[in-house]
Amino acid sequence: MATIYVDGTPHEVEEGQNLLQACLSLGYDLPYFCWHPALHSVGACRQCAVKQFKDERDARGRIVMACMTPVADGIRISIDDPEAREFRKSVIEWLMTNHPHDCPICDEGGSCHLQDMTVMTGHAHRRFRYKKRTYRNQCLGPFLNHEMNRCIQCYRCVRFYRDYAGGRDFDVLGSRNRVYFGRHEDGVLENEFSGNLAEICPTGVFTDKTLKKHYTRKWDLQWSPSICPHCAVGCNVSPGERYGSLRCVVNRYNDAVNGYVLCDRGRFGYEYVNSEKRIRGPLARGAGENAVEAVSKGTALERIRPWISEPERVVGIGSPRASLESNFALRALVGPERFVAGMSDPELRLARRAVSILRDGPAAPPSVAEIEACDAVVVLGEDLTNSAPRLALAVRQAVRRQPTEKAARFKIPAWDAAAVAYCCQNEKGPLLVATPAPDRLDDAATWTRRAAPDDVARLGFAIAHAVCSASPAPDAMSEADRSLAEEVARALKDAKRPAVLTGVSCGSEDVLRAAANLAWALRAEGKDARLSIALPECNSMGLALMDGGSLDQAIEAVENGSAQTLVVLENDLFRRMEKTKAERLLESAQHAIAIDCVENPTTARAEIVLPAAALYEASGTVVNNEGRAQRFDRCYVAEDNIQDGWRWLIDAMSAARRSEAKDWTSLDDVRAAMTEALPALAGVAQLRVEGGKIPRQPHRYSGRTAMRAHIDMSEPTPPEDADSPLAFSMEGYSGAEPPALQPFFWSPGWNSPSAVNKHQREIGGALRGGSPGIRLIEAAPSEKIVWFEEIPQAFSRRPDEWLLVPLSRIFGGEELSVLSPAVAERVAAACIAMNPKDAEALGLKAGDEAEIRLGGTEPIRQPLADMKELPEGVAGWPSGLPGVEWVEMLSWIGRKGTD
C-alpha cells in the first residue's frame, strides 16, 4: 500500500499500478484515450496529464502523464491544477482539429468516449480555421463499419487486434499525420474477436454494422443482464431491444468470465432472435405433409393434455441449450426416470466424465480470468478458437505472461505495455497445441503436434508421466514424442501456474483422461495447476450436473412401447444423431411435442410445436464450463404467444391438472423446487433487491408517449416481470444494484463502455458487488490422486478407411448464431478435409466431390478439401455446419467412388 496525495487529499492505494488507474479507481474523473484496462499504457495520446509535485513545498510542479507514472508512496499530484486542466483541454482541441462534424450521424454518438472526454475537459469551441484531413474507408466485412475520418490516433485498435487478439490482417499504415488504421486492402477482418473494436476504439471509427441496419442510440435501448447462448464459456452480455426487436448485444463486464471482450459469434449471433425462422405461435400438424395450422395457446394445451396426463407414457428430452429451470420443469412434468438430458450417449458420457474429473480430482476448473493469469498452457485435442472462442483469447494472454515476468526483472512495470513489448520482443510463454487439425492458436504456440485423438491422448499421458512418475506412462512412444513430452514437462514444471485445456468436441474420453492426469501430475508436483474442459453448449455443464439419461434411453423407451409421447425441449435431435435415427424416433412416438424458438427438422416433424422464448427473451440459469451458474433475465417480453420453455411446461402441467403447477407461479418457485430436488445445483440462489425494481431502460429512454400512438392513444402500463427484480421501465431502484442484475453500465458523464470503470472496486478488477455467478464445482481437496491407468494404443490407420475428427467452426458450427445474416456471411464452405497424400491415393484432388459411406447408411457427398497438416488416415468433418449431416465423431468412414 502507498499513500498518494491527489489535490491535497491523501489516499491509500495499491502499489504496482499507474496513477491513472489509481485515480480512476478512487473515483476521480481523469480523461484518457490510449490507455485501456486490458491493454495498459503506452502514453500515446497525452490526454491524462496531471501535475506532479516534488514535495509539499513545491508549488510549481511539472506535468506528467498519469498513465505512465507509477504509484509511489508519498507522491503528490493535482488533477485540478489550472495548468493541467488547460493542457488536457488543448490536447482534446488538437485531437479535434481533424474530427469530422459527424456526431448526429455517427453510431458511436451517445456512447462515445471521445464525446465524454471532450465534455469533461470543457473544449466546446473550434478555433482551428484550416482544412480537415480526410480518409477513404474500407469495407471490412459483415461485422464492422469503418469511418476513418473519426480517428484520433490513439492506437488502441492495433494494440488490441494484433497484440491482444493475435490478428495479423490489420495494422497501422502510412506515415506522419496520414497514419491509417485498417487492412492492407479492403476485405473481411479475419480475427474472431474483431467485433470488440467497436467497444475498444474510443471513437466512431469502428461501429457495429449489424446495429447500423436497425440503428438505435444506446439510451433508447432496453437492456437486460444476460448470458451469451452460443457456447459454454458463458460470457456475460447485455442485449438491447427497441420496438420489439433485438438491436445489438454488447459486452457486460464480468471480471471472472469475459472481462472486456466477447467473440464475434457471441456479439453478432444475436439476430437469430429476429430471424424469419422464429416460431411465433403454437402450431398443430395434421395428417398431411403440409397441414400445419396456427392454433391458440388454449387449443394447443388442450390437444396435448391427454397425451401427457399419464407421465409414465411420456419421455421428456431436455436440452443443453435450455436453462436449468426449463429442463427441471420438464423433468417435473415427466418424472425424473423419464427425463433425458437431450445429449447422445457419447456426448453425455463425455460431459459427465468432465464433471467427475473436475469434481473428484484436485485440479479446479479455472475462470477465464484465471486462465489469463496462467503462465504455461497445454491444449489437448480441442480447437478452442472455434469451439470456446473466449478461452482461446485467454490462452493468448497466458502466453504473454512469462515474458512479462522477465520484464519485471528489469523493473519494467507490467502496465508499461510498450516497454514490456520492447523488452520481450517476440518471446512467448510455453504453449503446446496438440490437436488433430490445424488450430488458430498455432501461431502463438511453442510446440504444435498434429495427431489423431488417441495419439493426442498418448502425448498427454507421456507429458503427465514426465512431470510426475506416479502417473502411468504410455508404452512404445516414438522418440520424437518422448522428447517433446519431456521438453513440455520441463516447461510446465518451470512455470508457476500451468493450465491444461481440453474439450469434448473430438469425442475422445481418452483425451480428457490424459488432460486430467497431466493436471493432477502437476498438482502432485506442487504446482497450482488448472484444468479447463470445454463443453459444446451454453448449459452442457448444467445438464451434466442434472440427473437425466441419454437420448438412447428415450429411443429405447419409445421403441419398446413404454412411452408414447415425446416432449422435446429446445433441442434439434438431428444435430445429435443420424438423420434416419432421429426420423425413426419422431415417427415411432405416437405424439411428439416440440418446444423451441426456431424452426428446425425436429419441430418440422412434431405434432404440436410450442413457441419458446429465445434466451435473450427468457429468464433462467445456465452453467458454464467453469461450473459457474449464471442467471439471465429477459430483455423484453416477446410478442405473440411466445413464452419461456419452463412456463410452457408449467402450463402443460396445469393442463394435466398436476399439483405442482399451482405452487409454481414464478421463476423463483421453480428455482426453489429445483435446488431442493437436485442438491448439485444447490448454489443457484434467488436474488432480490429492496426499494423498487431495477430499471431496464436508461433514464433518458425516449419516445414513450409516441412509439405506440399510431396503434392506440392510451399508453399501456409496462408489463410486470414476476421473475426478476427488474422492471421494463426507466424508473425504479436507484443505487448499486447487484452486478448479476445490472442491465447496462452508465454513470454521469460516462456514456461509453468505459462507464464500467465507475462500477468496479478497482479498475480492471471485480465489480463492486463481486463477480456475477456462483461456482457449483470445486475441486476435491484430497491429496490422494486416482490416476487414469487406461492408455489407448497408438493410432494405426486402416486401409481405405478414415477416422472422422471434428473441424469446429466458430461461424456456422453453432445452431442459433448461424441464423444471423452477418454470421451466415462468414460461414466456411462445407467440406471433408483430408491429407493431400490420402486424397492423392484415392485419386482425388481438392474440390472434387467425395462420396462417403458410413456403416449402412446412405452415402453422403461432400467436396474434398486439402489439409496438409491433418495426419494421414484421419478425415476432418465440419460438424454442425449448415448442410453438413450429423456424423458421430471418431467413427470410421469408407469410400466407394467419386465423380
Partner 1 sequence: MLSALKTIWLVLRHMFHRRVTVQYPETSNYLAPRYRGRIVLTRDPDGEERCVACYLCAAVCPVDCISLQATEDEHGRRYPEFFRINFSRCIFCGFCEEACPTYSIQLTPDNEMSEYKRKNLVYEKDDLLISGPGKYHDYNFYRVAGLAIQGKDKGEAENEEPPVDVRSLLP
Contact residues: partner 1, CB under 8 A: 100-105, 109-110, 131-137, 147, 149-150, 173-176, 178, 180, 212, 214-217, 219-220, 243, 700-707, 709-710, 713
> Which is nearer to partner 1, 145 or 502 (by Cβ)?
145
Compute the distance between CA of residue 132 and CA of residue 473 in angstroms, rounded to an integer.
68
Site for ligand SF4 in 162-191 (CB under 6 A): 181
Asked whether position 46 contacts ligand FES by CB under 6 A, the answer is yes
Question: Does 152 participate in binding ligand FES (rule CB under 6 A)?
Answer: no
List the single partner that 743 binds among ligand FES, partner 1, ligand SF4, none, CB under 5 to 8 Å by kind: none
Q: Which is nearer to partner 1, 212 or 861 (CB)?
A: 212
Tell me the CA distances in angstroms from 92 to 41, 114, 125, 573, 827, one per residue in order.
18, 9, 11, 57, 42
For residue 273, state whether it binds ligand SF4 (rule: CB under 6 A).
no
Q: Which of 235, 364, 419, 884 binds ligand SF4 (CB under 6 A)?
A: 235
Closer by beta carbon to ligand FES, 20 or else 535: 20
Task: Tell me the site size for ligand FES, rule CB under 6 A.
Answer: 13
Contact 654, 667 (CB under 8 A): no
Please report how close the Cβ of residue 702 comes to partner 1 at its closest, in angstroms: 4
Judged by beta carbon, residue 161 or residue 664, the one nearer partner 1 is 161
Residue from 36, 46, 51, 150 binding ligand SF4 (CB under 6 A) = 150
**CA distances (Å), 869 to each of 118, 671, 835, in order?**
52, 48, 7
Which residues does 376 contact at the CB level (< 8 Å), separation at least 6?
398, 402, 429, 430, 431, 491, 492, 494, 495, 497, 498, 499
- The C-alpha atoms of residue 676 and residue 671 are separated, in whole angstroms, by 8
Q: Indicate the DSSP class of residue 112.
A: -
Report the relative pairing of strands 498-503 and 376-380 from DSSP bridges.
parallel
Cell readout for 158 is 492495433
DSSP states along 666-690 = SHHHHHHHHHHH-GGGTT------S
| Interface with ligand SF4, residue 135, by CB under 6 A | no
In the sheet that 498-503 helps form, which strands lie side by side, from edge to edge? 447-450, 431-435, 376-380, 498-503, 530-534
Q: Which residue, 131 or 784, has its beta carbon nearer to partner 1?
A: 131
Q: Is there binding between residue 228 and ligand SF4 (CB under 6 A)?
A: yes
Residue 20 lies near ligand SF4 (rule: CB under 6 A): no
Provide the minimum distance between the beta carbon of 214 and ligand SF4 in the complex, in angstroms, as a whole number: 16
Q: Which one, of 855, 816, 861, 16, lies nearest residue 414 by Cα?
A: 16
Taking the complex as a whole, the smallest distance from the CB of residue 685 to ligand FES amounts, in Å, to 40
Binds ligand FES (CB under 6 A): choice among 13, 19, 50, 67? 67
For position 739 contacting ligand SF4 by CB under 6 A, the verdict is no
- Interface with ligand FES, residue 822, by CB under 6 A: no
- By CB under 6 A, is residue 156 in contact with ligand SF4? yes
* DSSP letter for each residue of 768-831: TT--SSEE-------S--------PPPP-PPTTEEEEEE---TTTSSTTGGGSHHHHHTPPPP-
H or E element at residue 575: none
Instruction: Say whether residue 746 binds ligand SF4 (CB under 6 A).
Output: no
What SS3 state is found at 611? strand
Which residue of 108, 325, 596, 651 would you call a contact of ligand SF4, by CB under 6 A?
108
Q: Site for ligand FES (CB under 6 A): which residue of 25, 47, 327, 835?
A: 47
Q: How many residues belong to the site for ligand SF4 (CB under 6 A)?
A: 37
The one of partner 1, ligand FES, ligand SF4, none whose footprint includes residue 47, by CB under 5 to 8 A per kind, is ligand FES
User: Interacting stretch for ligand FES, rule CB under 6 A, among 31-39, 497-505, 596-604, 618-626?
Assistant: 31-39
Residues 439-458 binding ligand FES (CB under 6 A) are none
506 binds ligand FES (CB under 6 A): no
Which 91-150 residues touch ligand FES, going by CB under 6 A? none
DSSP letter (8 states) at residue 715: P
For residue 399, give the nearest of 446, 435, 361 by alpha carbon.
446
591 binds, among ligand SF4, ligand FES, partner 1, none (CB under 5 to 8 A by kind): none
Cross-strand pairs, 575: none
- Which partner, ligand FES, ligand SF4, partner 1, none, binds residue 112 by CB below 5 to 8 Å per kind? ligand SF4
Given 65, 71, 468, 870, the residue binding ligand FES (CB under 6 A): 65
Paired sense of beta strands 180-182 and 171-173, if any: antiparallel
Q: Count CB-CB contacts under 10 A for residue 1.
A: 8
Give the closest residue to 320 by CA, choosing from 534, 622, 604, 592.
622
151 binds, among partner 1, ligand FES, ligand SF4, none (CB under 5 to 8 A by kind): ligand SF4
Question: Which member of 35, 270, 461, 802 binds ligand FES (CB under 6 A)?
Answer: 35
Applying CB under 6 A, which of residues 157, 283, 777, 874 lies at the interface with ligand SF4? 157
Q: Which of 83, 86, 93, 102 binds ligand SF4 (CB under 6 A)?
A: 102
**For residues 634 and 246, is the Cβ–Cβ distance under 8 A?**
no
Pick 144 or 834: Cβ nearer ligand SF4: 144
Residues 41-100 that bind ligand SF4 (CB under 6 A): 99
At 65, is the secondary structure helix, strand, or coil? strand
Distance CA(685)–CA(481), nearest Å, equals 48
What is the enclosing helix (H) or strand (E) of 660? helix 660-663
Work out whether 321 is an interface residue with ligand SF4 (CB under 6 A).
no
For ligand FES, give the closer residue by CB, 152 or 650: 152
855, 785 contact by CB (below 8 A): no
Using CB under 6 A, pick the residue from 26, 38, 63, 103 that binds ligand SF4.
103
How many CB atoms are located within 10 Å of the residue 413 CB? 20
Beta carbons of 321 and 537 less than 8 angstroms apart = yes
Contact string 430-449 vs ligand SF4 (x = CB under 6 A) = --------------------
When asked if residue 664 is in the footprint of ligand SF4 (CB under 6 A), the reply is no
Q: Does 833 bind ligand SF4 (CB under 6 A)?
A: no
Cα–Cα separations (whole angstroms), residue 735 to 62, 198, 761, 875: 39, 29, 15, 57
* Cell numbers representing residue 407 in the block: 520484464
Which residue's CB is nearer to partner 1, number 102 or number 578?
A: 102
Residue 759 interacts with ligand SF4 (CB under 6 A): yes or no: no
d(CA 170, CA 152): 17
Contact 407, 461 (CB under 8 A): no
| Residue 487 near residue 462, CB atoms below 8 Å | no
246 binds ligand FES, rule: CB under 6 A: no
Q: How far is the CB of 415 from ligand SF4 (least distance, A)?
A: 18
Spatial distance between the Cα atoms of 808 and 132, rounded to a whole number of angstroms: 47
Backbone φ, ψ for residue 66 (5° rounding) = -60, -35
Q: How far is the CB of 165 from partner 1 (least distance, A)?
A: 23
Residue 540 binds ligand SF4 (CB under 6 A): no
* Residue 193 binds ligand FES, judged by CB under 6 A: no
Under the binding rule (CB under 6 A), the answer on residue 389 touching ligand SF4 is yes
For the beta carbon of residue 609, count every other beta carbon within 10 angstroms: 27
- Quick check: 33 binds ligand FES (CB under 6 A)? yes
**Choice from 263, 456, 653, 850 touching ligand SF4 (CB under 6 A):** 263
Task: List residues near ligand SF4 by CB under 6 A.
Answer: 99, 102-104, 106, 108-109, 112, 114-115, 150-157, 181, 201-205, 228, 230-231, 233-235, 258, 262-263, 265-266, 389-390
Task: List residues near ligand FES by CB under 6 A.
Answer: 20, 32-35, 43-48, 65, 67
